[in-house]
């Protein structure tokens, strides 16, 4: 029995060995054939595998276009804060007029360090440096730093950080004025300046703080307001809007406001009231066919908001320039607002003409949306303006020093530190 078991077991082992030999023979035969040979993956094949997904055609319906054929599209580009300089110039050609005028005025008499050192240092101003595309704050003064200055500094930094080529921007040192009106003709960035007074031609317009936020006026972020207004507009057609001129504001901030209330008192074409007695959300303004804008102590901070409505924007002859003044057209095929006299003598006649002429109100309102909400009031336009301001100012200004004379002490505090200042005792580390 043991002998038979031994022979049968040996025979089984022999058969298994023979089968294994056959498999090995087939394997080495295949290896000799280059078509089937097993090879270690090359570095190139690994790289191709890792990035093959990135090389696939994009699934997005947004096609890549070259700058030569690029056209601004509000839906695609309105929130793009990093448009190139060429794209900015194509998209927003009318917003750089003030910068161009200042460059022309100062080319033969450029800005010097002395021009900054001799300015009022504690009059609602922020002194800052942009160096290699980075923002540094040298000093900040005045009660309006917390209300306006912080917003402007954040907005400027946003325009810088969104721009891939920010290190190519010129190095500059400058003042930002954070109140209504600068009372001197100095090289300072300001929210507004007189429209018809060349005495202030050296001032540089910058986007006002409300393009970031205006919490002291109970106004949330600018982008939030735009979103709410668009949501409102999506629910109502122009023909169904209330056929009246709407205004809400503080009647006591300017001498021409009380006469405006008097001129509209009891008129069926007007819905006018002091905001203290009849508050209305900004997006609710979009429910009226016409919206009124009246300047206050200087420019009207409210104007940029209500121009986001698909409503006819009405304003008296503008006395103050801002970064969004130049695209306004009061007449012709491109009319995008209605201009009235500041004494209100033609207000009723012009409002009735617009409301009573079929199609006129809607045509002007749609043109306003096209020019302002969907172009010059987009976040992309604001970011483009900040960078154009830096380039223009830098072309007629001195080269700043980032360090003190010792070569190691920074003259300013980096933006990132200032942004966290509520959490950090800056005075412990800097004279700030």
Alpha carbon separation from 419 to 41, 217, 278, 290, 425 (Å, rounded): 50, 22, 36, 40, 12
Least confident range from 59-63, 107-111, 357-361: namely: 59-63
User: Mean pLDDT over residues 402-430, rounded?
Assistant: 78
Cβ burial of 153 (10 Å; 0-12, 13-18, 19+) is: buried
pLDDT at 337: 99
Whether residue 38 has pLDDT greater than 60: no
Ranges 50-64, 276-290, 372-386, 388-402: which has the least confidence = 50-64
pLDDT tens for 178-236 read 988 887 888 999 999 999 877 788 899 999 999 999 988 888 899 999 999 999 999 99
At residue 219, the pLDDT reads 87
| Lowest model confidence (mean pLDDT) among 6-10, 21-25, 64-68 | 6-10
- Report the C-alpha gap between 231 and 153 in whole angstroms: 29
Q: Give the model's pLDDT for residue 48.
A: 33
The pLDDT-based confidence of 7 (bands split at 50, 70, 90) is very low
- Which residue shows structure tokens 């122009």? 238
pLDDT tier at 144, thresholds 50, 70, 90: low
Closest residue by Cα to residue 363 from 332, 391, 317: 332
Out of 79-83, 196-200, 318-322, pick the least confident: 196-200
Read off the tokens for 320: 């103050």
The lowest-confidence range among 76-90, 130-144, 321-335, 341-355 is: 130-144
Strands 172-177 and 125-131: antiparallel
**pLDDT of 348 higher than 80:** yes
pLDDT of res. 309: 98
Specify the domain boundaries for CATH 3.40.50.2000 within the chain: 216-378
Q: How far separated are the first and last CA of the chain, in Å rounded?
A: 104
pLDDT at residue 276, rounded to an integer: 85
The pLDDT value given to residue 332: 96
**Least confident piece of the model among 66-75, 316-325, 370-379:** 66-75
Give the mean model confidence (pLDDT) for residues 148-173: 97
What digits encode the pLDDT tens for the residues 96-112? 999 999 999 999 999 99
Q: Which residue has the higher pLDDT, 5 or 134?
A: 134
The region of weakest confidence among 80-94, 141-155, 344-358, 404-418 is 141-155
Topology at the third CATH level for domain 216-378: Rossmann fold (3.40.50)
CA 171 – CA 26 distance, rounded (Å): 73
354 has pLDDT over 90: yes
Determine the Cα–Cα distance for residues 157 and 159; give it in Å rounded to an integer: 5
Structure tokens at 110: 């450029």
Q: What is the pTM of this model?
A: 0.82
Model confidence at 313, pLDDT cuts 50, 70, 90, reads very high
Q: Are the C-beta atoms of 92 and 104 separated by less than 8 Å? A: no
pLDDT at 199: 79
């Amino acid at each position: 029995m043991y002998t038979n078991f031994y022979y049968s077991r040996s025979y089984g082992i022999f058969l298994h060995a023979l089968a294994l030999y056959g498999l090995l023979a087939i394997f080495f035969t295949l290896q000799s054939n280059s078509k089937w040979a097993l090879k270690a993956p090359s570095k190139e094949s690994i790289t191709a595998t890792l990035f093959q997904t990135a090389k696939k055609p994009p699934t997005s319906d947004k096609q890549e276009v070259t700058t030569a054929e690029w056209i601004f599209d509000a839906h695609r580009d309105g929130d793009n804060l990093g448009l190139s300089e060429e794209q900015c110039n194509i998209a927003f050609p009318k917003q750089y007029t003030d910068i161009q005028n200042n460059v022309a005025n100062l080319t033969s008499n450029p800005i010097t360090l002395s021009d900054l050192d001799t300015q009022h240092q504690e009059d609602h101003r922020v002194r800052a440096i942009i160096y290699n595309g980075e923002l540094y704050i040298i000093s900040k003064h005045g009660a309006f730093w917390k209300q306006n200055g912080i917003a402007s500094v954040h907005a400027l930094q946003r325009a810088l950080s969104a721009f891939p080529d920010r290190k190519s921007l010129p190095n500059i040192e400058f003042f930002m004025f954070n109140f209504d009106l600068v009372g001197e003709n100095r090289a300072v960035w300001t929210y507004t300046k007189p429209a018809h007074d060349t005495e202030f031609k050296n001032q540089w317009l910058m986007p006002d703080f409300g393009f970031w936020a205006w919490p002291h006026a109970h106004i949330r972020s600018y982008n939030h307001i735009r979103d709410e207004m668009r949501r409102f507009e999506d629910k109502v057609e122009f023909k169904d809007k209330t056929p009246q001129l709407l205004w809400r504001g503080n009647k006591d901030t300017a001498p021409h406001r009380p006469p405006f209330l008097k001129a509209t008192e009891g008129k069926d074409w007007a819905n006018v009231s002091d905001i203290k007695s009849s508050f209305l959300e900004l997006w609710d303004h979009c429910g009226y066919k016409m919206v009124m804008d009246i300047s206050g102590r200087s420019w009207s901070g409210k104007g940029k908001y209500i121009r986001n409505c698909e409503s006819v924007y009405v304003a008296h002859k503008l006395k103050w320039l801002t970064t969004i003044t130049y695209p306004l057209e009061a007449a012709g095929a491109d009319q995008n607002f209605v201009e009235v006299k500041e004494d209100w003598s033609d207000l009723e006649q012009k409002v009735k003409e617009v409301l009573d002429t079929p199609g006129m109100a809607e045509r002007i309102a749609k043109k306003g949306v096209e020019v302002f909400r969907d172009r010059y009031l987009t976040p992309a336009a604001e970011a483009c303006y900040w960078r154009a301001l830096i380039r223009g100012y830098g072309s007629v200004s001195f080269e700043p020093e980032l360090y003190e004379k010792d070569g190691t002490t920074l003259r300013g505090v980096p933006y990132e530190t200032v942004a966290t200042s509520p959490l950090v005792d800056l005075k412990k580390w800097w004279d700030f």
